[in-house]
Amino acid sequence: MNPRIVLSAPALVVALACCICPLAVPASCAASAPRHRMLLQDEGNAMLHLVDEKGGPGWSASLPGNARDLQLIGGDRVLAAAMGGGYFEIGLADGLIKKQKLGLGAVQSARRLPDGHTLLAGNDLDGSQGIVVLDLDASDKQVGKTVLPGLGTLRLMRLTASGHLLFGSGANLIEADRQGNILWQAQVPDAVIYKALRLKNGNTWATTGYSATLTLVSPDKKILRTVGGTTLAKEINPHFFADFQCLANGNLVVANWQNHGPGHGAEGIQALEFDSTGALVWQYQQDPAKISSLHGILILDGLDTRLGHDERDGIQVPWASVTLGRPMPSRSSLPLLSARTAPSEFGLRIDGRIDPRTRFSLGDALRVSPRP
């Protein structure tokens, strides 16, 4: 069963990027401000909410056993890590669970790859101790496993442009390869790192949990910037910064989680957006009748939900635009599409061979251009 409740988006106050709003969004900026369409993951009520501030359709859907993590995987579906031990594929049109895989243990993070594989990351999975990443093929058969012994408290995992694993373990930011070798490690004092994203310039943003900040760390492990924390207004109640997203304009959107279980919707302001200066430019005042405590957020503005997306470059980009360890060819040098084994399957021919990371249906191949 996956019960749904149709909801209308509440009127939200948003600020223009040109407004300097250090602690609150001024009413004078609200009239012409942009509004977000977004997915909100409600850990307190074990639900996922689609909210459209422009007045489009929305819904609320129960997630059995609760869920963490969000990724657009194409076909107007979103992937979420099922905390009951696997993943859910959820339809964006109606909030219904279209597919699920369960029974694999304490899964915390799920990432779909362009080749159809799914990486499930968690703690003490598949009989191994430590942080474990399971590799499932397109038919959900386990075909690989990465074990990092002695580590724990993983929440969300991401891949870097080189295909490495990026995650937090307590106060440690860690980059590891798929063989389990730690390649880079940096400490963020007083943090319980929830999520990290590697930017194109090599810096890494991370949310710090109970420190309620976003922290920027350089490749040489220096703390470059801190956003949020005690500078925020009391009514925001910065309690625990969880999932976050880097937007294309350089802004940062973060979920300000309050507590486990139902009944926390009147606490704090649970979705926040900061501009590139660290100023608060937007906030979402959740409806306590529908929402308890948000730990996940995905802004859908400008994203083609028919396509799979990744954050390997720091921001959300379609799979065909992701670096994937080496540069994609320029548009001017793209060769012609060539058919693969099935008539409806196509790919880009690179260096005389079809690159399996660029497989598309005909419609997708014609619609998406690799990044210049």
pLDDT tens for 175-223 read 999 999 999 999 999 999 999 999 999 999 999 999 999 999 999 999 9
Confidence band, pLDDT 50/70/90 cuts, at residue 231: confident
Beta strand pairing status for 309-310 and 294-299?
unpaired
Q: What is the pLDDT of residues 75-130, one digit of tens each?
A: 999 999 999 899 999 999 999 999 999 999 999 999 999 999 999 999 999 999 99
246 within domain boundaries: yes
State whether 65 and 171 are in the same domain.
Answer: yes
Q: Is 153 helix (H, G, I), strand (E, B) or coil?
A: coil
State whether 212 and 335 are in the same domain.
Answer: no
Q: Which helix (H) or strand (E) is 166 found in, with range?
A: strand 165-169
Which of 124, 119, 125, 53 lies closest to 87 in space, CA to CA? 119
State whether 209 and 193 are in the same domain.
Answer: yes
Of 23-37, 215-229, 230-244, 305-319, the least confident = 23-37
State whether 340 and 301 are in the same domain.
Answer: no
Q: What is the pLDDT of residues 45-80, one digit of tens each?
A: 999 999 999 999 999 999 999 999 999 999 999 999
Q: What is the pLDDT of residues 306-334, one digit of tens each?
A: 999 999 999 999 998 654 443 333 333 33
Q: Which residue range(s) make up the domain with 352?
A: 327-367
70 within domain boundaries: yes
What percentage of the chain's residues is helix, strand, coil (to nearest 5)? 5, 45, 50
CATH for 202: 2.130.10.10
Asked if residues 223 and 217 have their Cβ atoms less than 8 Å apart, the reply is yes
State whether 220 and 345 are in the same domain.
Answer: no
Which of 106, 96, 111, 1 lies closest to 48 in space, CA to CA? 96
State whether 253 and 289 are in the same domain.
Answer: yes
State whether 295 and 356 are in the same domain.
Answer: no
Q: List residues bridging with 48 in a β-sheet.
A: 41, 61
Q: Is 230 helix (H, G, I), strand (E, B) or coil?
A: helix
Please tell me the predicted confidence (pLDDT) of residue 34. Answer: 62
Q: What is the pLDDT of residues 332-344, one digit of tens each?
A: 333 333 333 334 4
The number of folded domains in the chain is 2
State whether 249 and 358 are in the same domain.
Answer: no
Residue 166 tokens read as: 């990026």
